[in-house]
Amino acid sequence: MLLVAPALPIVGGQSVQADRLMRRLSEVPGIEVELQPINPQFLPKFQRIKYLRTLLTIPKYIMDLLVRVPSFDVIHIFSASYTSFVISPTPALAVSKLYRKPTILNYRSGEAEDHLRRWRSAVPTIRRFDRIVVPSRYLVDVFSMFGISAEAIFNFVETERFRFRKREHLRPVFLTNRNFEALYNVACALRSFKGIQAAIAEARLIVVGDGPERTSLHELAGSLGLKGIDFRGSVRPEQMPAVYDEADVYLNASSIDNMPNSIIEAFSAGLPVVSTNAGGIPYIVEHECTGLLSEIDDDEGLARNAIRLFDEPSLAGQLITEARNEVERYTWEKVSDQWIELYRSLAASR
């Protein structure tokens, strides 16, 4: 099986899941898996130049596909939305069809509804894949709106890497770790933290991430007069368990989302989750059961929910316990059979 996906060092949900899937599948008898990066690394001195990097990478990526695809039985293709859908899964689909190889589209973007509504050519392209897999029931519902049948195989978290602590007495140490992009609305998290600090003066916020909004977010933190804020920059996935262990509450303010790995990781580490109800988040976080939810871009609502955890310690304990139970749905042991059965059925259909 050839896995076509972004490769580390790109740090994001897709690359992390691709890396985990590669490592786990390599341990399964009878399955040989290799990675074809959508971001092949070569000519390193040009990789830092944004548009030149793209112009160089696309031809190399297509040439790699033409050489490698014929050797595999199944082609598993990760996908995001908009332009990345055109430059990543679309060439992989074309090359796979050329060699009559069965394909899996593994679509992972929380922006699916807007993408499919605005880019109508994407719908017939998606229908050309043999199977369509998404990581949440939320995306199954979105695809059905466009007459596309998709199946859900959840993201999985390596829970053994996270030290679960049932925080009996919460410290006001908050963590947010989303990329600095508009859809993740880290600015809302910063504004909510101002409200939290107004009620809990000693509160601290660890901010992990990087991206195009880095400068504006640093400026916003300064203009809000926030204290106790620690911008960590980008952190490698293998280092994140230690960062979760530093914090006691997980804060997420995304405006568009699917099934964020970070929330499942927070569940695994024992951090109560305070989040907006964007996209697929209510499919994994049940309000007042496994976390607390507020409306999108409602920084005051986020702050109120965060403060509730300190006013109602029994609620915090309940959320931690229920969230820990929920994690069992997102382990390799729960999803592995679905992937293996899918690969084998497609390989047998050739």
Q: Domain map of the chain by residue range?
A: 2-156+331-348, 159-329
CATH second-level architecture of 2-156+331-348?
A: 3-Layer(aba) Sandwich (3.40)
pLDDT of residue 15: 86
pLDDT of residue 349: 86
Element (H, E) at 20: helix 13-25
pLDDT of residue 106: 98
- Identical fold for domains 2-156+331-348 and 159-329, yes or no, is yes
CB 116 within 8 A of CB 146: yes
Question: Tokens in use for 145?
Answer: 């709106």
- Rounded CA-CA distance 291/318 in Å is 9
Amino acid at 319: L
Element (H, E) at 138: helix 137-144
| Summary count for the chain: helices (H), strands (E) | 15, 12
CB 252 within 8 A of CB 273: yes
Mean pLDDT per 10-residue interval, the chain, length 350 residues? 85 83 94 92 55 73 97 97 93 98 97 95 97 97 98 94 92 98 98 98 98 97 97 94 98 96 96 98 98 99 99 97 95 96 93
- Rounded CA-CA distance 264/137 in Å is 15
Fold of 159-329: Rossmann fold (3.40.50)
- Rounded CA-CA distance 80/38 in Å is 12
Which value, to the nearest 10 degrees, does the dihedral of the CA atoms of residues 235, 238, 240, 243 take? -100
pLDDT of residue 35: 95
Phi, psi of 201 (to 5 degrees): -60, -30
Distance in Å from the first CA to the final CA of the chain: 13
pLDDT of residue 53: 60
Question: Tokens in use for 316?
Answer: 């915090």
3-class secondary structure, 97: helix
pLDDT of residue 57: 85
- Rounded CA-CA distance 316/172 in Å is 12
pLDDT of residue 52: 55
- Rounded CA-CA distance 205/251 in Å is 9
Element (H, E) at 276: strand 273-276
